Chains A and B, each alone.
Chain A
């Protein structure tokens, strides 16, 4: 008999499985559940991009690319960062095409962190940062963001958590799950704290195209003195509705990128070739498609925020990504209780806020990557649930 428990590495065994998995497995078995739980667009990938992939297959271009990715694609990424952020990256030495933004995050953390190094993780945030840090033996130091600050990172909160051991700050804006964004002036305060340190920022900007205030997304790398201390992570999943293509990238200082390329080439070799050609097309011709989708998200966002406030779920107005993060504190339930009961009793699936870090307790994440009709039905059910609780 194999003793598998003995085989699993201690670090892996210690990783917490996602706390929400269990009852969503139950949800999958239930009839008539409507979900507001996904973190991916409901749009299809724009046709021009799909067409480019089909053409690539027809031409039989199915071999490995260079380890860091097609030079055409790295050049297009550099052009994109230049036209949107005004920053210049050398496509030959400062950009790696990765398997989704996820691999870029993994590369960033694994190539920098030794056991005992401290990593500041802004929370609530996407679920993968802390587990990857734990696998490297690093120490996760959460920095809580608050609804009163519009879920922004403040200079004060950052300063309080910096120690001699701090190596990396993970800065995920526009934020999943809160929808919070950092404007140029917000970022300037953070940059001011970091400029005198040897800390690297891993800026996860996967939702960069999805902002709704009229002020376009600003990358911290674009601020004076910050490009040399920033690993910029972005990708194609959210903006171009390309989640299944697994296309992301990392841009940063050459001395770091060259090290990360080693990890990438041993673990991955290169990102999927067909997806890379498709991504070239995305950057060359799909600005209008992105705008169209963003506009649609914005309409839903305005409707949903208003509808949730009307039924009594107090709701911070998100300015980016495609999530609303209402407080459920008035119900007296914990996030998990709320989500479980909403699922079992009213068949709506949403994600408990504490899945994104302890500071998410008391909130739930509702995705508006759904049609208005779908959102309307879901809100109706949530209202019925709230009315029942109040009785």
Chain B
């Protein structure tokens, strides 16, 4: 992958100046390249990786497997975008394998998610079945360790 995108994926808060230094580019070139990526939709936004457990101990996230019936002319796209447009839904992906759509949802508590699945998701026309998996603990997200950093086995000094 492009080094600029890689750096931004690791830390989107690096300034253009810092990125320029690291990549041996000028600040203007970095700004132009980012603007171009944004314009072309390669960069869709900038987000933050939160240790949810520390931020709000009750919040829950669930991963839901959906089996659906594809529509004749639209395949899975129509249904997927319908689900994606729901506010509480964080991500929607078309999957290969045993089910069709993978959906993540966050809620204030378990009940909220259960109700969402029962009332909003399963009732959508074309949804055949759902299987809800609650996330119990996060260890790593988007390449960043959530709990402990990997320990450095190396000594403090070596020649």
**Residues in A lying within 8 Å of B, measured CB to CB:** 18, 20, 24, 27-28, 33, 35, 37-40, 42, 126-128, 176, 295, 298-300, 302-303, 306, 349, 351, 355, 372
CB pair B158–A38 under 8 Å, yes or no, is yes
A351 touches B152 (CB 8 A): no
User: Are B156 and A33 in contact (CB-based, < 8 A)?
Assistant: yes
Q: Which secondary structure dominates where chain A touches chain B?
A: mixed
A306 to B158 Cα, complex, angstroms: 25
**A355: chain B residues within 8 A (beta carbon):** 159
Cβ–Cβ < 8 Å partners of B21 in chain A: 302-303, 306
B22 engages A302 (CB within 8 Å): yes
Partner of A40, one of B3, B22, B158: B158
Q: CB of B86 within 8 A of chain A? A: no
* Contact of B159 with A126 in the complex, beta carbons under 8 Å: yes
Chain A: minimal CB distance from B86 (Å): 36
B154 touches A27 (CB 8 A): no
How long is the Cα–Cα vector from A35 to B11 in the complex, in angstroms?
22
A37-B3 contact given A302-B21, A303-B21, CB 8 Å threshold: no
Q: With A303-B22, A372-B10 given, can you name 5 additional A-B contacts, CB distance below 8 Å?
A: A28-B155, A37-B158, A38-B157, A40-B154, A351-B159
When distances are taken between beta carbons in the complex, the residues of chain B under 8 Å from A351 are 157, 159
**Binary A-proximity of B26-59 (CB < 8 A = 1, otherwise 0):** 0000000000000000000000000000000000
**Which of B11, B23, B156 has the most C-beta atoms of chain A within 10 angstroms of its own C-beta?**
B156
Which chain B residues border A302 with CB–CB below 8 Å? 21-24
**Residue B78, interface by CB 8 Å:** no
Which residues of B come within 8 Å of A, CB atoms? 3, 7, 10-11, 18, 21-24, 152, 154-159
The 10 closest A-B pairs by CB, nearest first: A37-B157, A35-B156, A299-B22, A127-B159, A24-B157, A306-B21, A39-B158, A38-B154, A303-B22, A349-B156
Query: A42–B159 contact, CB under 8 A?
Result: no
Q: Which residues of B contact A35 (CB under 8 A)?
A: 152, 156-157
Chain A residues positioned under 8 Å from B7 (CB to CB): 299
Interface pairs (7), CB distance under 8 Å: A35-B157, A40-B154, A127-B159, A299-B22, A300-B22, A303-B18, A303-B22
Q: Once bound together, how far apart are the Cα atoms of A122 and B33, in whole Å?
A: 44
Task: Give chain A residues whose Cβ lies under 8 Å from the Cβ of B156.
Answer: 24, 27-28, 33, 35, 37-38, 349
Q: In the complex, what residue of chain A is closest to B152 when comparing beta carbons? A: A42
Given A42-B152, A306-B21: A299 and B158 interface contact (C-beta under 8 Å): no
Chain A residue with minimal CB distance to B157? Answer: A37
Q: How far is the CB of B21 from chain A (nearest CB, A)?
A: 5
For the complex, what is the distance from the CA of A97 to the CA of B116, rounded to whole Å?
A: 64
Q: Chain B residue with minimal CB distance to A305?
A: B21
Interchain nearest-CB distance for B135 vs A (Å): 25
Which of B23, B152, B159 has a CB less than 8 Å from the CB of A299? Answer: B23
Given A38-B154, A299-B23, A302-B23: A128 and B159 interface contact (C-beta under 8 Å): yes
B49 to nearest A CB, angstroms?
13
Complex Cα–Cα for A355 and B158 (A) = 11
Whether B157 lies near A349 (C-beta < 8 A) is yes
* Contact between chains at A18 and B159 (CB < 8 Å): yes
B91 to chain A, nearest CB (A): 26
State in angstroms the CA–CA spacing of A40 and B24 once bound together.
24
Which residue, of B18, B24, B159, has the highest number of chain A Cβ atoms within 10 A?
B159
A20 neighbours in B (Cβ, 8 Å): 157
In the complex, which residues of chain A have a beta carbon less than 8 angstroms from the beta carbon of B157? 20, 24, 27, 35, 37-38, 349, 351
- For residue B15, give the distance in angstroms from its CB to the closest CB of chain A: 12
* A299-B154 contact, Cβ under 8 Å, with A18-B159, A39-B159: no
* A295 / chain B contacts, CB cutoff of 8 Å: 3
Min C-beta distance of A297 to chain B, whole Å: 11
A39 to B7, CA, bound (A): 24
Chain B min CB distance to A123 (Å):
14
Nearest CB on A from B23, distance (A): 7
CA distance A355 to B157 in the complex (A): 12
